[in-house]
């Protein structure tokens, strides 16, 4: 197990901050966080997997200490994917195993489907490929995704999430946990510190403003299958991505595929069931 250290990578016009452990290992694992987190979401897996791999967890553009472009279009999915391709090259690798949760899962699917030359394996947590999401989309899921529509409103979401010392963002962490105690006071303090970085709230919401309605709710998802080895992990008590919305992920994959369901975990699955997720990743990464 290696110490977690920090560095920056200039990727085009955007400087990304990242956490890294196990420098110099033969294989690279990239861990991508979601909303409203930062590299810290993967702290347990960063440390645990570093005995065998170089493991890096960037702050995605707009988050924590990474650059925060001002324009909404700077948060389109293709640009988020470009960042990770650039980061893999910056670290001296041609390919990486890419693991993503929430928005990180969306970027991981994009890389596996459209930038597969950079991806040796892909693991997604909680969020299925767009084609699966749209095939399963129900009224119940649309109602559960109300916040995606709310985030299209100018200015109001920023105020709502940051008011009363970030009560809105803190509430998201706590309400989407399957059980109390997932986030300690120290964890919440770490998140609040990241949200207090200058201009931190608008970029988080711009992920949803850039092209989310088209990607999530219009019937234009690519039907091309993913052709790299794939693992899907899902905490079954998720209130944001409902169980009915992740049925049939295997049908979008034309490669070795495995799926792990964790009955007692909610949306923050790699923190709520960290040992199961870490062990599942270790087994998946080791497979030939």
| Peptide bond between residue 31 and the one before it cis (omega within 30 degrees of 0) | no
Task: Specify whether 33 is catalytic.
Answer: no
Q: Which of 53, 63, 208, 234 is catalytic?
A: 208
Q: Catalytic annotation on 118? A: no
Helix pair 103-114, 77-90: axis angle to 10 deg: 80
Name the H helices within 73-226.
Answer: 77-90, 103-114, 130-136, 139-144, 146-150, 156-175, 185-195, 201-217
Asked if 285 and 228 count as a contact pair (C-beta separation under 8 A), the reply is no
Q: Return the SS3 of 109.
A: helix
Q: Indicate which residue of 102, 118, 166, 207 is catalytic.
A: 102
Q: The tokens of 101 are what? A: 């949760």
Q: Please spell the DSSP secondary structure of 187-240, one letter per residue.
A: HHHHHHHHHTSTT-HHHHHHHHHHHHHHHHHSS----PPB-S-EEEEEETT-SS
Residues 6+ apart with CB under 8 A from 229: 120, 121, 122, 255, 256, 257, 284, 287
Please give the structure tokens belonging to residue 50.
């570093």
Active-site amino acid positions: 102, 208, 267
């Amino acid at each position: 197990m290696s110490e977690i250290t920090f560095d920056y990578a200039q990727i085009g016009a955007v400087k990304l901050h990242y956490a890294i452990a196990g420098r110099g290992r033969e294989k690279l694992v990239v861990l991508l966080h979601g909303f409203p987190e930062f590299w810290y979401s993967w702290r347990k897996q960063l440390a645990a997997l570093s005995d065998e791999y170089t493991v890096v967890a960037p702050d995605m553009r707009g988050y924590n200490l990474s650059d925060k472009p001002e324009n909404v279009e700077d948060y389109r999915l293709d640009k988020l994917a470009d960042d990770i391709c650039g980061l893999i090259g910056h670290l001296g690798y041609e390919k990486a195993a890419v693991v993503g949760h929430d928005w990180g899962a969306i970027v991981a699917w994009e890389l596996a489907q459209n930038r597969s030359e950079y991806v040796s394996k892909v693991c997604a947590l909680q969020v299925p490929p767009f084609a699966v999401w749209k095939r399963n989309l129900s009224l119940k899921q649309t109602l559960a995704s109300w916040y995606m529509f709310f985030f299209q409103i100018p200015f109001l979401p920023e105020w709502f999430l940051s008011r009363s010392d970030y009560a809105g963002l803190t509430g998201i962490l706590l309400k989407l946990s399957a059980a109390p105690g997932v986030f300690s006071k120290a964890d919440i303090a770490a998140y609040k510190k990241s949200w207090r970085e200058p201009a931190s709230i608008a970029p988080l919401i711009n992920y949803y403003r850039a092209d989310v309605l088209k990607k999530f709710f219009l019937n234009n998802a690519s039907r091309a299958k993913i052709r790299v080895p794939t693992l899907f992990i899902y905490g079954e008590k998720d209130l944001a991505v409902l169980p009915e919305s992740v049925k049939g992920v295997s049908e979008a994959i034309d490669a070795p595929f495995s799926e792990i369901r964790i009955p007692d975990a909610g949306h923050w699955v790699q923190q709520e069931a960290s040992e199961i997720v870490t062990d599942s990743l270790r087994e998946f990464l080791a497979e030939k």
